[in-house]
Amino acid sequence: MEKLIPMVVGNWKMNQTRKEIEEFSSTFSSKCSQFKCLFGIAPQAIHLSLLQKNFESCHRELGGCSTPSLFSQNCYFENKGAFTGELSPASLKDLGVDGTIIGHSERRQIFKEDNELLRKKLKNALASGLQVIFCIGETKEEREGGRTFEVLKEQLNMAYTDLTLQNSHQLITAYEPVWAIGTGLAATPEMAEEAHAFIAEHVNSLLKFSSNNSKTHRILYGGSVNPGNIEELLSKSHIHGALVGGASLKADDFIKLCEVANRFS
């Protein structure tokens, strides 16, 4: 299996003021040149341009990818029109945004986004040239009912069946068990690895590539990742990085996460 440079992505959700972003950026920028891992941030959409400006000095190429990456947390499945309040993937691309998260469990649960809608969003985001971090994961009830793999399979089938990609960088899967998000209760590395191995195998059977470029599909783990548990998670062979909420908000913690990821780069 090809060894991927780990990737750490901060999902800031509906947090961070401009002042907090300025403080984060100045602390982070002074350290970013030492990072050999890939890293990115998904701020609120209104702050994408600010981060783009603040991260300019950190920019470089690593393992065929440019880093840092800027992600939106969501976008719509149409590029323009009468869709008040929605975010256009084409406009994100035009702004120089690298990618988007789609299917985060907060979108699925709070905003009732179903597999059908998420498939449309995924397809259009990819067609618009955005890299997509597609999130999947089971609830506590589903895990306790022994349905984890069934749920993951269904979410993947709905999203990835008949999807043809040009290259493996375009699409990243994030395994985020819903019960682990924001709870301080991360999956054990063994539990996460078991799910990642299942996802890797299933994704492999679903995805097609238009060119002969079937590199390893990147799978991030998300759910209560912090500087104290990321090392053990990244030591697992199918875990290629982390999608981090709470612990990505403070520059010092985010730097620590990247420092650990560096050791696996």
Question: Contact positions toward ligand PGA, by CB under 6 A?
Answer: 11, 176, 181-182, 222-225, 243-247
CB of 17 to ligand PGA, least distance (A): 18
Rounded to whole angstroms, the Cα distance separating 55 from 59 reads 7
Rg (CA), the chain: 17
Q: 88 or 223, CB closer to ligand PGA?
A: 223
CB of 162 to ligand PGA, least distance (A): 27
Residues with a catalytic annotation lie at 104, 176
Q: 11 or 25, CB closer to ligand PGA?
A: 11
Q: 98 or 176, CB closer to ligand PGA?
A: 176
Tokens coding 47: 């702050």
Task: Report strand pairing: 7-11 vs 241-244.
Answer: parallel
* CA-CA-CA-CA torsion sign (252, 106, 218, 126): negative
CB distance 265 to 33 below 8 Å:
no
Task: Report strand pairing: 171-175 vs 7-11.
Answer: unpaired
CB of 71 to ligand PGA, least distance (A): 11
User: How would you class 59 by CB atoms within 10 Å of its CB: exposed for 0-12, middle for 13-18, buried for 19 or more?
Assistant: exposed
Q: 103 or 223, CB closer to ligand PGA?
A: 223
45 C-beta neighbours (distance < 10 Å), count: 17
Closest residue to ligand PGA in the complex (CB): 245
CB of 245 to ligand PGA, least distance (A): 2
Q: 43 or 246, CB closer to ligand PGA?
A: 246
CB of 246 to ligand PGA, least distance (A): 4
Q: 75 or 88, CB closer to ligand PGA?
A: 75
For residue 237, how far is the Cα from the chain centroid? Answer: 18
CB of 35 to ligand PGA, least distance (A): 19
135 C-beta neighbours (distance < 10 Å), count: 26
Residue 131's closest CA among 159, 171, 81, 184?
A: 171
Contacts of 44 (CB under 8 A, 6+ apart): 12, 13, 14, 15, 16, 73
* Amino acid, res. 133: I
